[in-house]
């Protein structure tokens, strides 16, 4: 589907007006929503991370938000685990 991207949905042309970008991204997301590999595609894009385009149903800005949330969650989990580790180490 997105491999050929004949409609130019997944990547922004230069100097794209905001309204056109939002409309194009929503159209790309609709394609992704029907894609059988959306979950895997999204994780791949988050691991790279892909700085441009719609991947796995997320825009680049949305992927940055997901990544920031994951980093914050990981830091909170590490913080929460620290006292337990210290207690275990003390025996
Ligand atoms: S989920 Fe990924 S592979 Fe599927 S259409 Fe969207 S960008 Fe393409």
Centre of ligand 1 from the C-alpha of residue 37, in Å: 7
Rounded CA separation 45/60 (Å): 9
| Alpha-carbon distances of 36 from 4, 40, 42, 46, rounded to whole Å | 16, 9, 12, 18
32 belongs to a structural domain: yes
Which residue has its alpha carbon closest to ligand 1 atom 8? 2
Range of the domain at 75: 7-90
| pLDDT (tens digit per residue) in 11-58 | 998 899 999 999 999 999 999 999 999 999 999 999 997 889 999 999
Residue 2, in any domain of the structure: no
Question: Residue 24: inside a domain, yes or no?
Answer: yes
Number of domains in the chain: 1
Q: Is residue 1 part of a domain?
A: no
State residue 6's pLDDT score. 81
49 domain residue, yes or no:
yes
CA of residue 39 to ligand 1 center, whole Å: 9
Global model pTM greater than 0.95: no
How far, in Å, from the CA of 6 to the mean position of ligand 1?
A: 14
Residue closest by Cα to atom 3 of ligand 1: 41
Cis peptide before 49 (omega within 30 of 0): yes
Separation CA 54–CA 43 (nearest Å): 13
Residue 27 within any structural domain of the chain: yes
Ligand 1: which of 9, 33, 38 to mutate, most ligand atoms within 8 Å of CB?
38
């Amino acid at each position: 589907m997105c491999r050929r991207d004949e409609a130019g949905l997944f990547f922004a042309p230069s100097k794209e007006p905001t309204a056109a970008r939002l409309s194009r991204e929503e159209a790309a997301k609709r394609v992704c929503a029907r894609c059988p590999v959306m979950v895997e595609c999204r994780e791949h894009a988050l691991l790279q991370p892909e700085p441009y385009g719609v991947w796995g149903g997320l825009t680049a800005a949305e992927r940055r938000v997901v990544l920031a949330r994951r980093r914050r969650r990981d830091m909170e989990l590490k913080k929460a685990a620290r006292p337990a580790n210290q207690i275990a180490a003390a025996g």
